[in-house]
Amino acid sequence: MSDIDDMKLLAKDIANGLRKLGPNRAVALSVHVSKELLTDLETKANTLVDLLEASS
């Protein structure tokens, strides 16, 4: 997989995770699940930043 594909996948994962936390979500998440999701999203966002910095 290329860096561009990795970045696109990470961005989509982050957007999907944020959608689960947003006001238009279909189901309310428990605090435990929300914390896990936020940790996962933070990790993915940091990875995306690293990939973007490496590509410039």
Q: How far is CA 3 from CA 20, 40, 43, in A?
A: 26, 20, 17
* 37 exposure class (CB count in 10 Å sphere: 0-12, 13-18, 19+): middle
Give the alpha-carbon dihedral of 23, 17, 29, 33, to 10 degrees: -150
- What would the mean pLDDT of 29-37 be, rounded to a whole number? 95
Please provide the average confidence, as pLDDT, over all residues in the chain: 93
pLDDT higher than threshold 70 for residue 1: no
- What integer pLDDT is reported at residue 56 of this predicted model? 78
Q: What is the mean pLDDT of residues 15-22?
A: 94
Please tell me the predicted confidence (pLDDT) of residue 2.
Answer: 85
Q: Are 34 and 21 in contact (CB under 8 A)?
A: yes
41: pLDDT strictly greater than 70: yes
